[in-house]
Amino acid sequence: MRSRGLMLLLVFSSQAFAFDLQQLSDQLAKPSVIHGSFIQEKHLRALPQPLTSKGTFVLAKDHGLLWLLKIPLQQDYRINAKGIARRDGSGWQMLPGKSAGAEQNRIFLAVLQGDSSGLQRDFELSLSGEAQNWKLTLTPRSMLLKQVFNQINIDGGELVQRIELLETQGDSTVLRMQDITSAAPLSDAEQHDFAE
């Protein structure tokens, strides 16, 4: 009897104090605009060095994501509810909505925005750590996703800091977000980019 009482206490206390998915969602959904820079490393099995690229990003809760690749080549992307667009000389060009690609981008957006309900459909989620230092592991549920990803690991504090995609083929991608700030609102140019 005593041991059972002790166990109950433990269960209750862990439920009461653990950092849970809902709290994570709330925390990530709080800022309406986030600015930051990123470093992307693509580790290909056949290459000794990763393919590294750098740039900045703007994540706006109500608008979507601007992803501005600067190095080694310049290329701007925009993801929102309508799909994914790429900027060329004449403005934003919507990319044809390839079904699988569109889904992947939806997942990407869900990861950045901490939309755990959207992710729970396709992945087993396991969260550890605390509000200022947490780690979320996504394991694919469906046969289709399992054939593409082994796992997705997301680390963060106040906001998302690192995303790691482990592909079944042995390649992996690591995205690191730096200098993240939720202080500045959207600039006129950014608003224009989202609106167009």
Partner 1 sequence: MTLPSERMLPRLFLTLLMAVLALAGWQWHDGAPLSANLMDLVPGTAPDALELKAEQRIQEPLNREMLVLVGHANRQQAIAMTKKLGEQWLASGVFEKVQWNLQADLPALRTQLLQGRLAMLSAADRQQLIEQPQAFIQQRVQALFDPFTGFSLVPSQDDWFGLTGRIQNSQPQHGSVQLDIGSGALVADADGKSWVLLRARTSGNAFDMQLPLKVAEQLLHSREEAARADVQLLAASGLLYAAHGQQQATREITWVGGGATLGILLLLLLAFRRLRVLLAFVPVLVGMLFGSVACVALFGHMHVMTLVLGSSLIGVAVDYPLHYLSKSWSLKPWHSWPALRLTLPGLTLSLATSCIGYLALAWTPFPALTQIAVFSAGGLLGAYLSAVCLLPALLKGTDLRPAQWPLRVAEFLLSVRQALLKRVRSSVLLVLVLAFCAGGLWHLTSKNDIRQWVGAPPQLMSEAQTIARITGYQPTSQFFLVRAANQQQLLERQKALGERLDLLVKQDKLKGYLALNQLVSMPSEQQQVREALNKLPAFWQPLLDLGIPVTALQAELAQLQALPVEDVAAALVGPLAEPWRPLWLGATDDGVAAMVSLQGLNDPALLRVQALDLPGVQLVDRLDDLNHVFAATQISAAELKLLSCVLIVLLLILPFGVGGALRLVALPLLAALCSLASLGWLGQPLTLFSVFGLLLVTAISVDYAILMREQIGGAAVSLLGTLLAAATTWLSFGLLAISSTPAVSNFGLSVSLGLAFSFILAPWARPSAHAAPVAEPAA
As given in the structure block, the two tokens for residue 121 are 């459909």
Helices (H), the chain: 2-17, 21-29, 99-113, 116-120, 143-146, 188-195
**Among residues 171, 174, 176, 182, the one that binds partner 1 under rule CB under 8 A:** 171
Which region among 19-27, 64-72, 152-160, 178-186 touches partner 1 (by CB under 8 A)? Answer: 64-72
Interface size with partner 1, residues (CB under 8 A)? 46
Judged by beta carbon, residue 112 or residue 186, the one nearer partner 1 is 112
Q: Which residues pair with 31 in a beta bridge?
A: none
CA angle 108, 110, 113 (to 5 degrees): 110
Identity of the residue numbered 170? G
Task: Tell me if 134 contacts partner 1 by CB under 8 A.
Answer: no
Rule CB under 8 A: say whether 77 interacts with partner 1: yes
* 158 touches 170 (CB < 8 A): no
| Both structure tokens of 98 | 């390839």
- Letters for 84-103 (x = contact with partner 1 by CB under 8 A, - = none) are x----------xxxxxxxxx
Q: Is 175 in the site for partner 1 (CB under 8 A)?
A: yes
37 part of the interface to partner 1, by CB under 8 A: no
Measured in whole angstroms, the distance separating CA 169 from the mean position of its chain's CA atoms is 21
Cβ pair 25, 114 in contact under 8 A: yes
Question: Does the protein bind partner 1 through residue 5 (CB under 8 A)?
Answer: no
Give residues in contact with partner 1 (CB under 8 A). Answer: 40, 42, 44-49, 51, 53, 67, 69, 72-73, 75, 77, 79, 84, 95-105, 107-108, 121-122, 141-145, 147-148, 167, 169-171, 173, 175
